[in-house]
Amino acid sequence: MPSVYIKTYGCQMNERDSEAVAAQLVAKGYTLASSEVGADVILLNTCSVRDAAEQKAIGKMQNIAAEIRRNRPEVVLGFMGCMAQSRGQQLIDKLPDVDLVIGTQKFHRTVDYLDDILAGKRTKVVDVGEEQGSEATIREHILNGNTAENLVTAFVSIMQGCNQYCTFCIVPYTRGEERSRTIPDIVAECRELIARGVREITLLGQIVTSYGKRDIPIKDGKSGFVQLLEAVHEIEGLERIRFTSPHPKGYGDDLVEAYARLPKLVESAHLPVQSGSDRLLKIMHRGYTRERFLGILEKLRRIKPNMGITTDIIVGFPGETDADFEETLSLAREAKFHNAYIFKYSPRKDTPAAEMPDQLPQLVKEERNARLLALVNEIAASHYENYVGRQTQILVEGPSKKNSARMMGRTRTNKIVVFEGSERHRGQLMDVKINRAGSFTLYGDPAILNLD
Ligand code: SAH
Ligand code: F3S
């Protein structure tokens, strides 16, 4: 059977989509290749959130066309995902070697299109239409073979799309309107995963706090998302629940209180803030103020003082003044994030911010990026240092990526811990004593060895 290589760019949603496509291909008899060399089909699952991500995937496809397709003209080349959605046919016009362009609501059609192309029934296929019910089609998992570490943790897609329309963001255009799966459908998928050995589940969506907003009525003051958390929490054998990404405006008291009520919900949250300036937050269409954002963190930390809170911040948004940027720096100091992903603003096609006056020079973006990064890293380092000498629980995921002789696990607060262990620890909840903090990594020993 033909072998397929899938390369993924961008966020965890893309990783999950690629995994589901891979599993659908395997179910139909295709094999998975670990690199493009020798593969019969090469698919790039793309990201559009910043220009650099698009250019990377286009550059990669140009290389593949020049180096692989030239020698093996029968190789099938395809783009999937966000850039496929936003550029469609243009991609084939620009790169005539490309055979297949599959949009974000069509991942599950990949197998059929490949069958047809390989059988010579069709040549070029571009499918970027909308499809009702497509939010429920990302459900197959690969739990064996070359991705064995996934046995311990798994991602489950709960919704697709976003209706927030932040003025800088292309996602509402590439991923479409918010569409949620049903609670029973999601719970059934989680149950299957747990039956196969998974112990931690991360619920995924572009704006998970909007889950079920249109379809699931508020019950006892609880949003659809909190009702989903409760339903997943009941599954026996599941140890930990995570989710990403929430929107700060979705952090109502029902969700804050869920951290106190639901022990499997870990003390970790990725809460994108984007800016510390109220003026910019408004122009970005974020739907909260600096004060409201800091208020949420305060409430969360009142319940879980050690909560591992991370964020995304954009520097160099159009019209961002020195004073606005100072507000972002001061917010970062006050919020004391455990980590922050900083992005230089990148104008995106058809988004309002791309048309705004006062686009800032690259140099300003780079300077602000460097200043903020230095501050964020300093604060993060102090959080990591705080663990040294303490005992903490980890869930062991498998060998460390940097050094496969050692094992790695994650704390409930989402910090990586590397320790001397063995395969038999995989999937275990273990107490470790932390003896050293490196850059965004902790080093520990199983606590049983530290009887002093
Ligand atoms: N809610 C989604 C957001 C996807 S984009 C999620 O977390 O999955 C991820 C991050 O990229 C955003 O939080 C934002 O900080 C950044 N980003 C989005 N559009 C951007 C742009 N045009 N330029 C720079 N960074 C951007
Ligand atoms: Fe993008 Fe804002 Fe939605 S960042 S994904 S439009 S919440």
Q: Give 33-43 pLDDT, tens digit per residue.
A: 999 999 999 99
Quote the ligand 1 centre to 311 CA distance (angstroms): 11
pLDDT at 378 over 50: yes
pLDDT score, position 332? 98
| Nearest protein CA to atom 10 of ligand 1, as residue | 312
Nearest CA to ligand 1 atom 18: 169
pLDDT tens digits, one per residue of 346-369: 999 999 999 999 999 999 999 999
Residue with tokens 């603003």: 345
The chain-wide mean pLDDT, for the chain, equals 95
Which-ligand-closest: CA of 205? 1
The confidence band for 452, taking pLDDT boundaries of 50, 70 and 90, is: very low
Nearest CA to ligand 1 atom 11: 49
* Predicted pLDDT of residue 144: 56
Q: Please tell me the distance between residue 365's alpha carbon and the centre of ligand 1 in angstroms.
A: 16
Predicted local confidence at residue 349, as pLDDT: 92
Measured from the alpha carbon of residue 161, the closest ligand is: 2
pLDDT at 150 over 80: no
CA of 169, closest atom in ligand 1? 19
171 CB near ligand 1 (under 6 Å): yes
Please tell me the number of the ligand nearest to residue 351's CA. 1
Average the pLDDT over 91-107 and give the result.
97
Q: Could you tell me the pLDDT band of residue 449, with boundaries at 50, 70 and 90?
A: low
Give Dmax (Cα) for the chain: 71
What ligand 2 atom has the least distance to the C-alpha of 170? 1
Torsion of CA 161, 365, 336, 200, to 10 degrees: 30
**Which residue's C-alpha comes closest to atom 1 of ligand 2?**
169
pLDDT surpassing 70 at residue 450: no
Mutating to test ligand 1, I would choose from 17, 54, 165, 168 the residue with most ligand atoms within 8 A of its C-beta, which is 168
For 281-321, the pLDDT digits (tens) are 999 999 999 999 999 999 999 999 999 999 999 999 999 99
For 163, other C-beta atoms within 10 Å of its C-beta total 13
pLDDT band at 148 (very low <50, low <70, confident <90, very high): very low
User: For residue 151, what pLDDT is reported?
Assistant: 83
Q: Residue whose CA is closest, atom 7 of ligand 2? A: 164
14 lines ligand 1 (CB under 6 A): no
Is residue 146 scored above 50 in pLDDT?
Answer: no
Which pLDDT band holds residue 142 (cuts at 50, 70, 90)?
confident
In the reported structure, the alpha carbon of residue 404 is separated from the centroid of ligand 1 by a whole-number distance in angstroms of 32
Question: Are the beta carbons of 175 and 82 closer than 8 angstroms?
Answer: yes
Say if ligand 1 is within 6 A of residue 127 CB: no
Q: What is the pLDDT of residue 339?
A: 97
Ligand 1 pocket: which of 49, 83, 158 to mutate (most atoms within 8 A of CB): 49
pLDDT tens digits for 396-430? 999 998 888 999 999 999 999 999 999 899 999 99
What is the structure's pLDDT at 126?
A: 97
Percentage with pLDDT > 70 across the chain: 97
- Predicted local confidence at residue 259, as pLDDT: 97
